[in-house]
Amino acid sequence: MPPGFPLLEPKRPAMDAFALSESYVETMADLWPVTATFQGLPGRDGEWNDYSPDGAGQARATLENFRDQLEDLEPADDPWQKLAADFMADMIEHHLLFYGTDDFLKDLNTIDSPLQHMRIIFDVMDRETEEGRKNARRRLEALPQAMASYRTLLETGRQSGHVVARRQVLAAIKQARTHVAESFNTLDFPETDRARGAYADIAEYLERDYLPSAVERDAVGRERYSREVRRFLGADLDLEETCAWGWDQVRAIRQEMVATARQIAPEKTLDEVLHGLKTEPAVESMEAFIELMRERQSGALADLDGIYFDVPPEIRRVDVKKAPPGGPIGAYYIPPSEDLSRPGSISYSLGDTLPIALWDHIATAYHEGFPGHHLQVGIQVCLRDRLSKLQRLDGYSGYTEGWALYSEQLMRELGYYEKPEYLMGMLSCQMTRACRVVIDVGSHLELPIPSDAPFHPGARWSYELAVEMLETMAGMAGDHARSEVIRYLGWPAQAISYKVGERLILELRDALKQRPDFRLKDFHSRVLGFGNVALARLKDLVIS
């Protein structure tokens, strides 16, 4: 228990920050049933969001109403109540920024937009029980109507001149057509034909009507980028300083990669070592790879629980599975349901290449699973005694990705990269996140590459240069690098949340190490014990 933050008393006023938070969660779940399913909130699994401008207007009005109710609450003396109120205010502010600008009219990218949500949602739904199958069929049946409401949103944006970049549209068309051809094959329901038809229709609309209106410029500019920084990090940043720090990270990690390459093959250059690691097969099948990742998860949890972390019994299971086709290359984590009946899960999308080279997947397993996302999100869901319902379900990419990247570094400190090849994989992951900082900030603000940079000094960022940097500096395969850069360009500021969040956590650890009573387990408990808070608040909470 973090000092100074007592357990809540069981009796509270009729309407306090916790009660209002619960009302907010349930009300917004009615408006956003897809979000409710991702969060594991029951009762809405057969329904869809209204993605149209009318639905956006209803969401904005509801958010404004809750903001007014929150402002009318009596100030709380209890620190957990105050934290709950502050968190709710932050979340409402970020949503209102989205709906209060033209951002909501441009909700199209390759990783986190309704186009992806309408397919991925079926992977987190119950399809084993009769009720679950009924809900899945209802959702599939109604998917064309949901897609039509989304098309109305995009068309409203198009007609008013609020459109995304051409590169995003082309990638979205490709994704939609992959869903038509492949992605619904795992759903054994006759209604999948209607879902395929909806994706075929949106692909045709995007190609015929939307694409000619799309802009060529990938950059979103400083104003929108700054909004997205607040959305993903819960803090303001000096963007030029952050970019310069990112270049410092690139240089330092590069030096470590060179030294590690010498351990692997003293006679070869770093580029030759990376090429060898990428082309050296290790695992013959996707099934064997999934099983190996499960073993990594269970082994790390058994080793570290009680020594460096206190793991609640409810989250001592993490599922590992293959992602449906059509999404970006990589791995992603889906949190457990709010009632913990659905375990947290890691999904892998690795393309069609077999056998699978293992070198860079060990660090990813610790990032996405334990002690990364699965531990952090799982503890957050379990903290019913001190966090509001909203706090247990929501939060900031800067916190959650910062913790996951810190976990990669921690596992290095604890000796879990037992081969230099695995250490190189971890360093390449760190290099990827450092490259993300300079690519993301530099591309969206259209900054020049510094004259003393170790990569194309003095040049101007382009899509091609960003792909080249990931291939040559981080050792990323070409298809993965192309997918990554499209992701950054369509999801501004999310890509920097990893290194920026990790930077703060390491700074906090260094500060607390100066205290004579410092224990690493206690530090982890403090960082994880307040839930997923804004980075601007985390420092005060952990240091207090």
Return the residue matching tokens 């390491």: 506
Cis preceding linkage at 355, omega within 30 = yes
Counting other chains too, the contacts that 284-290 makes at CB distance below 8 Å and 24 or more residues apart are: 284/354, 284/355, 285/354, 285/355, 286/322, 286/348, 286/350, 286/354, 286/356, 289/348, 289/350, 289/356, 289/358, 289/361, 290/320, 290/321, 290/322, 290/348
* DSSP-derived pairing of the beta strands 330-334 and 344-349: antiparallel
pLDDT of residue 11: 44
User: Is the separation of the CB atoms in 168 and 486 below 8 Å?
Assistant: yes
Which ranges constitute the DSSP H helices of 446-496?
A: 463-473, 478-490
> Using CA atoms, how far apart are residues 228 and 220, in angstroms rounded to an integer?
10
pLDDT of residue 4: 44
Tokens of 116: 């992806």
> Using CA atoms, how far apart are residues 254 and 469, in angstroms rounded to an integer?
12
User: Is the separation of the CB atoms in 41 and 381 below 8 Å?
Assistant: no
> Using CA atoms, how far apart are residues 382 and 99, in angstroms rounded to an integer?
31
DSSP 320: E
* pLDDT tens-place values along the chain, 544 residues long: 454 444 444 444 557 999 999 999 999 999 999 999 999 899 999 999 999 999 999 999 999 999 999 999 998 889 999 999 999 999 999 999 999 999 999 999 999 999 999 999 998 899 989 999 999 999 999 999 999 999 999 999 999 999 999 999 999 999 999 999 988 988 889 999 999 999 999 999 999 999 999 999 999 999 999 999 999 999 999 999 999 999 999 999 999 999 999 999 999 999 999 989 988 878 888 899 999 999 999 999 999 999 999 999 999 988 898 887 766 677 889 888 888 888 889 999 887 778 888 998 999 999 999 999 999 999 999 999 999 999 999 999 999 999 999 999 999 999 999 999 999 999 999 999 999 999 999 999 999 999 999 999 999 999 999 999 999 898 888 888 999 999 999 999 999 999 999 999 999 999 999 999 999 999 999 999 999 999 999 999 999 7
User: Is the separation of the CB atoms in 526 and 518 below 8 Å?
Assistant: no
Nearest residue to 476 (alpha-carbon basis) of 401, 442, 412, 425 = 425
Enclosing H/E stretch for 346: strand 344-349
Which ranges constitute the DSSP H helices of 185-325?
A: 192-205, 222-233, 239-264, 270-279, 286-304
pLDDT of residue 8: 42
Enclosing H/E stretch for 332: strand 330-334
> Using CA atoms, how far apart are residues 434 and 248, in angstroms rounded to an integer?
9
- pTM equals 0.91
> Using CA atoms, how far apart are residues 520 and 528, in angstroms rounded to an integer?
12
Q: Is 473 exposed, middle or buried, given 0-12, 13-18 or 19+ CB atoms closer than 10 A?
A: buried
> Using CA atoms, how far apart are residues 448 and 443, in angstroms rounded to an integer?
9
> Using CA atoms, how far apart are residues 294 and 348, in angstroms rounded to an integer?
12
**What string of DSSP letters covers 366-401?**
HHHSTTTHHHHHHHHHH-TTTS-HHHHH---HHHHH
> Using CA atoms, how far apart are residues 43 and 73, in angstroms rounded to an integer?
29
Return the residue matching tokens 């409402």: 92
pLDDT of residue 14: 57
Name the residue type at position 117: H
pLDDT of residue 1: 43
First-to-last C-alpha distance (Å) of the chain: 13
pLDDT of residue 150: 98
Angle between helices 192-205 and 130-159 (to 10 degrees): 10
